[in-house]
């Protein structure tokens, strides 16, 4: 009868985190008298509590119970919703997340924070709650915990009076399973009370009319018994008495009371789930608690990464595969008996095949796509907290949260975005007095927007604050020795200075931002995703950071180039321009370094054949082509033999079966089935730099090449 519950833990965790997110966002929106929102917060908390109980995460259950009690009072209108309570509830949500994460990783959690929040919660409940009922339950949960410690070893007898509600069976519960679970704990005697049984003609077979008196002799604690009844505690009247200990009976009863109120959530939740697994969960539970406790750490750490995919996306995929099959059978029929007069049908069939594959590729990509709201969701809370901390008034406007983005990109863009939003709050938005004095509304606005542009997604983080002081940035850059005092820079060049390491214009370092660590990291992170960041700012009106990212990391737009016999792919995003060399613009400097004058810039030339040790006929600069690429602000000209087509390529890793190769970011398979390497521009520049630094090898390399080609 025992079911391995641990297989459900990942989905419980996933649901819990979703629940917590829902709680958080609803709490931020919560206004007094908004019953619907309170209900949904309560439902989320209740599900987490129930699930945690099932899986034996006691710390989560205990804590959530307190939260639930507070929410329950709000729901029943016994308590007004005031901002202070919302603050406490938000902290509680953090604690719950902490506890669930600790339970997931089987690790210690920050007990102090949890204890402090528990105290705050308990205090709120005691102070403003006339009945004192919930504070009793606070004590109870503690008593229970300590009781379970004492009772584990010795054999004791419990008397259990169990009166289920008539509709217990409708929620998918069966007393027999409960009794079986109890019998697993120890020796059980059951006496059924049939006094409420109606006449046979009046019986509704779906209703329960019995009640039971059970006697259980066991080594298990009262808490264990309570757990057996966990899922039915809201649909029954339960009294557990330890033989010769009347006191605990009262406690147990007291604990049931706060939650004994009719709870639509519990019912609806249980009805929606198929009845059998729920029962199985219950019965297996006592045995399984120990199992999950003693689980080795390493196993618990394994994170399951999964995506939830909408059925519509899967359906469209199935449709497309269906079409592909039809096209395939059409073509093979055509091929089995082909004559030249069917050529037209063949071409149209191939065209159809092309269409099908393209659509199929797009829909497969869409499966990896998630709406950017997953990344945006954390910002309401962040801005709320930051507003409290800084004392500035502001609101957050989110647009385009349905814009879809690849999951991998999403995971990596989260932190840089947080940084940008923090900056906007701290540096961008001015205090209310300043705003009013400047004729703006007291409340600042931070706007997040996301939209598609070509094959890219653009994320904008805009504020209507003071804007970036161009002169101040410039002065700071001169002070730090990043630019020369007399250099002339245009606006965007000045704003780019913000991304220099160690740059901060904040007069005061706050604990939110201003230490100058970060913007360079933000830029690096975005660049490592193949994206770029731009700044626009008008003084007095605000600033806007535009982050441009590729939609996916799996596919890349590339320019195919030929060097010797090899074909290489240069990512289109890093190409500035491709040109034929004008001899007059070539300059030799520092011995053997060749520079190309591109308008006012001098671009060093990197012959790809030399860097990669290839043989080619195009060793002279004047008959080769130059592809000017840019990475990390450095432009270089890659010398190649020919430019071929531009095409989208699917990135394959070299690391799977080989290892990382310097100067190569991956490989791809071309239309003819051959493999082509994708160039890693920053890596190649690094390669050239390091070979320039170790001069002897550089010389040797050059000599070898000269020998090979002479």
Residues that bind other proteins (CB under 8 A): 566-567, 611-614, 652-654, 656-659, 661-664, 667, 669, 673-677
Two tokens, residue 47: 């599900």
Show the 3-state SS of 20-79.
HHHHHHHHHHCCCCCHHHHHHHHHHHHHHHHHHHHHCCHHHHHHHHHHHHHHHHHHCCCC
Q: Which is nearer to other proteins, 143 or 552 (CB)?
A: 552
Two tokens, residue 143: 């008593």
| Torsion sign (Cα): 65, 71, 75, 77 | positive
> Whole-number minimum distance, CB 668 to other proteins, in Å?
9
> Whole-number minimum distance, CB 360 to other proteins, in Å?
15
> Whole-number minimum distance, CB 238 to other proteins, in Å?
47
> Whole-number minimum distance, CB 704 to other proteins, in Å?
12
Q: Which is nearer to other proteins, 296 or 391 (CB)?
A: 296
Q: Which is nearer to other proteins, 585 or 692 (CB)?
A: 692
Show the 3-state SS of 587-617.
EEECCCEEEEEECCEEEEEEEHHHHCCCCCC
What is the strand order of the sheet 186-193 is part of? Answer: 186-193, 211-218, 156-164, 236-242
Other beta carbons less than 10 A from residue 415's beta carbon: 14
> Whole-number minimum distance, CB 369 to other proteins, in Å?
22
> Whole-number minimum distance, CB 525 to other proteins, in Å?
27
Q: Which is nearer to other proteins, 272 or 305 (CB)?
A: 305
Measured in residues, the chain has a length of: 710
Please tell me the distance from the alpha carbon of residue 384 to that of residue 30, in angstroms, as a whole number: 13
> Whole-number minimum distance, CB 603 to other proteins, in Å?
22
Q: Which is nearer to other proteins, 507 or 656 (CB)?
A: 656
Two tokens, residue 352: 């159809």
Q: Give the distance from CA 319 to its chain's centroid.
A: 30
Two tokens, residue 504: 């901060």
Please tell me the distance from the alpha carbon of residue 605 to that of residue 594, in angstroms, as a whole number: 6
> Whole-number minimum distance, CB 327 to other proteins, in Å?
21
DSSP string, 181-230: HHHHHEEEEEEEE-TT---GGG--TTS---EEEEEEEESS-HHHHHHHTG
> Whole-number minimum distance, CB 654 to other proteins, in Å?
6
Q: Give the distance from CA 200 to its chain's centroid.
A: 57
> Whole-number minimum distance, CB 258 to other proteins, in Å?
48
> Whole-number minimum distance, CB 373 to other proteins, in Å?
34
- The answer to whether the CB of 250 falls within 8 A of the CB of 137 is no
Bridge partners (DSSP) of residue 156 are 218
> Whole-number minimum distance, CB 677 to other proteins, in Å?
7
Show the 3-state SS of 376-433.
HCHHHHHHHHHHHHHCCCEEEEECCCCCEEEHHHHHHHHHHHHHHHHHHHHHHCCCHH
Q: Which is nearer to other proteins, 537 or 619 (CB)?
A: 619
Q: Which is nearer to other proteins, 347 or 694 (CB)?
A: 694
Please tell me the distance from the alpha carbon of residue 187 to that of residue 157, in angstroms, as a whole number: 9
Please tell me the distance from the alpha carbon of residue 233 to that of residue 261, in angstroms, as a whole number: 11
- The answer to whether the CB of 92 falls within 8 A of the CB of 59 is no
Residue 331, exposed/middle/buried by CB under 10 A (0-12, 13-18, 19+)? middle
CB within 8 Å of 401: residues ≥ 6 apart: 371, 372, 373, 376, 450
Q: Which is nearer to other proteins, 140 or 616 (CB)?
A: 616
Q: Which is nearer to other proteins, 69 or 616 (CB)?
A: 616
Q: Which is nearer to other proteins, 119 or 709 (CB)?
A: 709
**Helix, strand or coil for residue 245?**
strand
> Whole-number minimum distance, CB 652 to other proteins, in Å?
5
Q: Which is nearer to other proteins, 481 or 696 (CB)?
A: 696
CB within 8 Å of 257: residues ≥ 6 apart: 133, 137
Angstrom CA distances, 377 to 392, 397, 417, 662, stand at: 21, 12, 12, 38
> Whole-number minimum distance, CB 667 to other proteins, in Å?
5
DSSP string, 612-663: TT---S--SGGGSEEEEEEETTEEEEEEESEEEEEEEEE-B-STTTS---TT
Q: Which is nearer to other proteins, 117 or 559 (CB)?
A: 559
C-alpha closest to that of 70 among 135, 142, 143, 141: 135
Please tell me the distance from the alpha carbon of residue 157 to that of residue 219, in angstroms, as a whole number: 9
Q: Which is nearer to other proteins, 378 or 652 (CB)?
A: 652
> Whole-number minimum distance, CB 558 to other proteins, in Å?
15
Q: Which is nearer to other proteins, 259 or 614 (CB)?
A: 614
Residue 685, exposed/middle/buried by CB under 10 A (0-12, 13-18, 19+)? buried
> Whole-number minimum distance, CB 415 to other proteins, in Å?
28
> Whole-number minimum distance, CB 666 to other proteins, in Å?
9
Q: Which is nearer to other proteins, 306 or 590 (CB)?
A: 306
Two tokens, residue 92: 């509680």
Q: Which is nearer to other proteins, 71 or 608 (CB)?
A: 608
Q: Which is nearer to other proteins, 244 or 658 (CB)?
A: 658
């Amino acid at each position: 009868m025992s079911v391995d519950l641990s297989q459900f833990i990942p989905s419980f965790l996933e649901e819990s985190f979703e629940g917590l997110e829902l709680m958080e966002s609803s709490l931020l929106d919560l206004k007094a008298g908004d019953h619907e929102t309170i209900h949904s917060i309560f439902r989320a908390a209740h599900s987490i509590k129930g699930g945690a109980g099932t899986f034996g995460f006691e710390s989560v259950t205990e804590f959530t119970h307190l939260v639930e009690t507070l929410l329950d009072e709000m729901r029943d209108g016994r308590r007004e919703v005031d901002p202070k309570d919302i603050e406490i509830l938000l902290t509680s949500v953090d604690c719950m997340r902490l506890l669930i994460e600790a339970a997931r990783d089987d690790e210690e959690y920050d007990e102090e924070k949890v204890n402090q929040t528990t105290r705050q919660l308990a205090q709120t409940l005691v102070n403003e709650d006339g009945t004192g009922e919930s504070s009793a339950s606070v004590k109870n949960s503690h008593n229970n915990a300590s009781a379970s410690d004492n009772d584990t070893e010795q054999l004791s007898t419990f008397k259990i009076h169990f009166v289920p509600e008539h509709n217990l069976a409708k929620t998918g519960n069966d007393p027999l399973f409960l009794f079986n679970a109890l019998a697993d704990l120890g020796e059980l005697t059951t006496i059924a009370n049939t006094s409420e049984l109606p006449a046979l003609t009046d019986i509704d077979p779906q209703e329960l009319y019995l009640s039971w008196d059970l006697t259980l002799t066991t080594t298990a604690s009262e808490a264990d018994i309570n757990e057996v009844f966990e899922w039915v505690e809201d649909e029954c009247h339960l009294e557990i008495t330890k033989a010769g200990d009347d006191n605990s009976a009262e406690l147990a009863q007291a604990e049931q009371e706060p939650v004994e109120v009719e709870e639509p959530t519990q019912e609806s939740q249980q009805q929606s789930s198929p009845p059998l697994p729920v029962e199985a969960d219950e019965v297996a539970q006592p045995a399984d608690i120990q199992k999950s406790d003693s689980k080795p750490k390493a196993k618990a750490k394994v994170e399951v990464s999964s995506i939830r995919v909408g059925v519509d996306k899967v359906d469209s995929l199935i449709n497309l595969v269906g079409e592909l099959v039809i096209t395939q059978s059409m073509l093979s029929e055509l091929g089995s008996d082909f004559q030249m007069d069917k050529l037209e049908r063949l071409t149209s069939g191939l065209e159809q095949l092309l269409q099908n594959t393209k659509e199929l590729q797009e829909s497969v990509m869409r499966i990896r796509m998630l709406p950017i709201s997953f990344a945006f969701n954390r910002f309401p809370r962040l801005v709320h907290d930051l507003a409290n901390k800084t004392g500035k008034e502001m609101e957050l406007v989110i647009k385009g949260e349905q814009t879809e983005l690849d999951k991998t990109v999403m995971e990596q863009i989260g932190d840089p975005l947080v940084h940008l939003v923090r900056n906007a709050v701290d540096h961008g938005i001015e205090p209310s007095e300043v705003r009013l004095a400047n004729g703006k509304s007291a409340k600042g606005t931070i706007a997040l927007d996301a939209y598609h542009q070509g094959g890219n997604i653009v994320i904008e983080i805009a504020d209507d604050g003071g804007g970036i002081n161009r002169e101040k940035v410039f002065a700071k850059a001169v002070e730090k020795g990043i630019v020369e005092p007399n250099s002339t820079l245009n606006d965007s060049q000045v704003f780019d200075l913000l991304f220099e390491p160690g740059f901060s214009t904040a007069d005061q370092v706050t604990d939110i931002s201003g230490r100058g660590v970060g913007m360079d990291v933000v830029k690096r992170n975005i660049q490592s995703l193949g994206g770029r960041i731009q700044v626009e700012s008008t003084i007095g009106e605000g600033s806007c950071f535009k982050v441009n990212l590729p939609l996916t990391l799996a596919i890349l737009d590339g320019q195919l180039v030929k060097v010797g016999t090899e074909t290489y792919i240069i990512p289109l995003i890093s190409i500035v321009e491709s040109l034929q060399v004008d001899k007059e613009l070539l300059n030799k400097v520092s011995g053997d370094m060749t520079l190309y004058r591109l308008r006012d810039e001098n671009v060093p030339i990197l012959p790809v054949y030399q860097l990669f040790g290839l043989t080619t006929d195009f060793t002279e600069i004047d008959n080769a082509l130059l592809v000017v690429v840019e990475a990390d602000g450095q432009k270089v000209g890659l010398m190649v033999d020919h430019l071929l087509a531009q095409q989208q390529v699917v990135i394959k890793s070299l690391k799977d079966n080989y290892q990382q190769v310097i100067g190569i970011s991956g490989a791809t398979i071309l239309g003819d089935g051959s493999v082509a390497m994708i160039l890693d521009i920053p890596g190649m520049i690094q390669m050239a730099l390091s070979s320039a630094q170790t001069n002897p090898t550089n010389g040797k390399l050059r000599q070898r090449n000269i020998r090979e080609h002479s």
